[in-house]
Amino acid sequence: MANLRAGLIGLGMMGRHHARVLRQLDGVDLVAVADPAGDPHHVAGPLEVLPDVHALIAAGIDYAMVAAPTRFHTETGLALAEAGVHTLIEKPLASDTAGAQRLADAFEAAGLVGAVGHIERYNPALQSLRARLEAGELGEVYQIATRRQGPFPSRIADVGVVKDLATHDIDLTAWVAQREFTSVAARTAYKSGREHEDLVAVTGSLTGPVVTNHLVNWLSPMKERVTVVTGEKGAFVADTLLADLTFHANGEIATRWDDVAQFRGVSEGDMIRFAIDKPEPLRTEHENFRDAILGQDTDIVTMAQGLNTVRVAEAVLESAATGRTVELR
């Protein structure tokens, strides 16, 4: 069987990583790249840098990776759907719910494989965490808390921290728990002089019910990527920067110091740091998308799921603007 012919549009910071992985992928040939702004990171190699998505399509590709800025996702994706090209679009799926809906509808109507690059799903720590939750190792899930903080990345110009960073947490939280958001309440701040928010604090509810909270900003001098899932048997802590997963168990030994036992509610138990395989998340994402095109049953982030994440992100912004809790169901 001939290799799949892949095309890449968007040769910025993320585009260079997608180009590297596509060139390493078994069964795939990167045959065309496009970016109207050129090739700032010199990733095209022997390939001509094409001017737009239409030239990319004309190169005769089987599937495309869209790593262009968010504001171009809808028009680029619709052109690819019309041309019958399977497509993986970087997160978020689109800059607004209307655009995300159009993309999801277009790829479904064309019978094409369409997916969204929510790469955190493929982080080894979160993959292991989800499997352990499904196996019942935590029992009933009570709360999921995430922290995603760090300095401002100058590459982001067209969206704020909610749609760029917090969409990671919205997607991974719903995916890990296998539940949907039912409400969100949020506050944002604008501290860096940009038109978009650079800090958000969100409290939410998932079906179940499960309580969530998310702290996300571009204002911290340190970089932090942490997910904590608390339940009846203890708590899992996933550090997605290092792909480490630890479990803090509720202790079975009674605390004899009455004041401490009353304060803690549960006693301290064993802590386990799991030894897990750590493949590169971006490579796993591309392998899953390639296999989906080949008709295999793989765990891709569908455009319908990407649409739902954009919808929740817009509810977060609506809540911050109005000061009210926004119901999603």
Whole-angstrom distance, CA of residue 126 vs CA of residue 111: 30
Please report, for residues 88, 232, 302, 322, the alpha-carbon distance to residue 292 in angstroms, rounded to integers and kept in the order given. 11, 36, 11, 41
Local confidence band at 77 (pLDDT 50, 70, 90 cut-offs): very high
pLDDT at 195: 86
Local confidence band at 152 (pLDDT 50, 70, 90 cut-offs): confident
Whole-angstrom distance, CA of residue 267 vs CA of residue 256: 10
Residues of each domain in the chain carrying CATH 3.30.360.10: 123-278
* Short-list 154, 158, 168, 152, CA closest to 218: 152
pLDDT at 224: 96
Dihedral angle, C-alpha 24, 26, 28, 34, nearest 10 °: -10
Question: pLDDT tens digit string along 90-128?
Answer: 999 999 999 999 999 999 999 999 999 999 999 999 999
> Vertex 78, ends 72 and 80: CA angle to 5°?
100
Residues of each domain in the chain carrying CATH 3.40.50.720: 4-120+283-309
Question: pLDDT tens digit string along 37-59?
Answer: 999 999 999 999 999 999 999 99
CATH topology of domain 4-120+283-309: Rossmann fold (3.40.50)
Q: H or E segment at 33? A: strand 28-34
The CATH code of the domain at 123-278 is: 3.30.360.10
Over pLDDT 90: what percentage of the chain?
88
pTM of the predicted model as reported, rounded to 2 decimal places: 0.92
Q: What is the DSSP string of 139-154?
A: -SEEEEEEEEEEEPPT
Q: Examine the pLDDT at 22 and tell me if it is beyond 90.
A: yes
In the numeric block, the tokens 């704020």 are attached to: 160
